[in-house]
């Protein structure tokens, strides 16, 4: 479920996704190997006479790592980090994105129908290289939600901060 909202002149995105990490990947995480997740957003403006015009591309990343000593999970995104007691608690941060600030509403045109899509995936490019080789030919590592489409437009009121 994707819900773009404009609050106080800022475009936010709330995403709730089904991303089930199970089996080998969970075991690997349990062994202390850091997992990287990423959420990708593309927002385009439809043009019937040409290719769609890209308006915005954003990415957010998470790192989930298990501390075997303290038996705690740590979720970090950018400078922020949190300790969680379980893997699912840690994954909840990835699955449920709240108030992802995408852009200033003023930067977008009013009353234009924007199309966007979002997905959350396991970011294999930041894994250790042997895992990358594994990831190239193993389905266990290709974990991603399908692209989820959404559309929105900004009214004149919203654009005012």
Partner 1 sequence: MERFLFFDLRRRLPALTRWASRIVLLIVAGSALALLAMLVWSTGNASRYARQYDVLLVLNGILAVALLFWVTAVSWRLARQVRRRQFGARLTARFALFFTLIGILPGALIYILSVQFMSRSIESWFNVRVDSALEAGLNLGRTALDSQLADLSSRAHEFALQLGQASDLEMPLLLTQLREATAVAEAMVFTSNGRMIAFSSAEFAHLLPDPPPQAVMNQLRVSHAYAAAEAEEIDALAEDEALTGLRLRVVRPITPSERLTPTLGSTAPDTRWVQLIEPIPDAVARNANHVQQGFRDYQELALSRLGLRKLYGITLTLALILAVFAAILAALSVSRRLVRPLLRLAAGTQAVGVGDYRPLPESPDDDEIRQLTRSFNAMTRQLDEARRMVESNRRQLERSNVYLESVLSHLSSGVLVFDEGFRVNMFNEGAQSILQLDLRQVKGRPLEMVEGALPLAQRIRDAFAEHEAVGSERPYWQQQFELDIGDGPAQGERGHHLTLLARGTHLQVDERGTGYLVVFDDISEVISANRAVAWGEVARRLAHEIKNPLTPIQLSAERLAMKLVDRLDEDDAAMLLRSTNTIVNQVASLKSMVDDFREYARTPPAQMQAVDMNALVADVLSLYGWDPVDGMLHEHGREFDLEVDLDPDIPLIRGDPTQLRQVIHNLVVNACDAAGQQADETRAAVCVSTRLASAGSNGNGERPLAVRLTVSDNGPGFSPQVLARVFEPYVTTKPAGTGLGLAIVKKIIEEHDGRIDVANRRDAGARVSILLTRLADAADPDPAGEGGPETGRLET
Q: What residue ranges bind partner 1 (CB under 8 A)? A: 28, 31-33, 67-72, 74, 79, 81-85, 89, 128-134, 137
Question: Measured from the CB atom, is 72 or 145 closer to partner 1?
Answer: 72
The minimum distance between CB 62 and partner 1, in angstroms, equals: 14
Question: Measured from the CB atom, is 10 or 76 closer to partner 1?
Answer: 76
**Residue 18 to residues 15, 60, 147: CA-CA distances in angstroms?**
10, 17, 12
Question: Measured from the CB atom, is 37 or 114 closer to partner 1?
Answer: 37
DSSP H stretches of helix in 4-86: 24-30
Please say whether the beta carbons of 80 and 93 come within 8 A.
Answer: no
The minimum distance between CB 32 and partner 1, in angstroms, equals: 3
The minimum distance between CB 73 and partner 1, in angstroms, equals: 10
Question: Measured from the CB atom, is 5 or 136 closer to partner 1?
Answer: 136
Tally: H helices and E strands in the chain = 4, 9
The minimum distance between CB 50 and partner 1, in angstroms, equals: 31
The minimum distance between CB 21 and partner 1, in angstroms, equals: 15
What b/e readout covers 120-142, taking b as 16+ CB neighbours within 10 angstroms? bebbbeebeeeeeeebeeeeebe
Strand positions, DSSP E, 8-153: 10-16, 35-45, 53-67, 72-77, 80-84, 96-104, 114-122, 148-152
Question: Measured from the CB atom, is 111 or 137 closer to partner 1?
Answer: 137
């Amino acid at each position: 479920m994707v819900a773009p909202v404009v609050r106080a002149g800022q475009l936010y995105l709330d995403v709730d996704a089904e991303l089930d990490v199970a089996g080998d990947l969970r075991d690997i995480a349990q062994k202390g190997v850091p997992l990287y997740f990423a959420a990708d957003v593309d927002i385009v403006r439809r043009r019937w006479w040409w290719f769609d015009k890209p308006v915005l591309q954003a990415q957010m990343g998470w790192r989930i790592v298990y501390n075997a000593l303290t038996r705690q999970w740590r979720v970090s995104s950018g400078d922020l980090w949190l300790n969680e007691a379980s893997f699912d608690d840690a994954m909840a941060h990835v699955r449920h994105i709240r108030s992802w600030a995408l852009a200033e509403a003023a930067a977008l045109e009013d009353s234009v129908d924007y199309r966007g899509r979002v997905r959350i995936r396991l970011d294999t490019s930041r894994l250790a290289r042997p895992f990358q080789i594994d990831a190239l030919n193993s389905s266990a590592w290709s974990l991603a939600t399908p692209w989820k489409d959404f559309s929105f437009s900004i009214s004149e009121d919203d654009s005012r901060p």
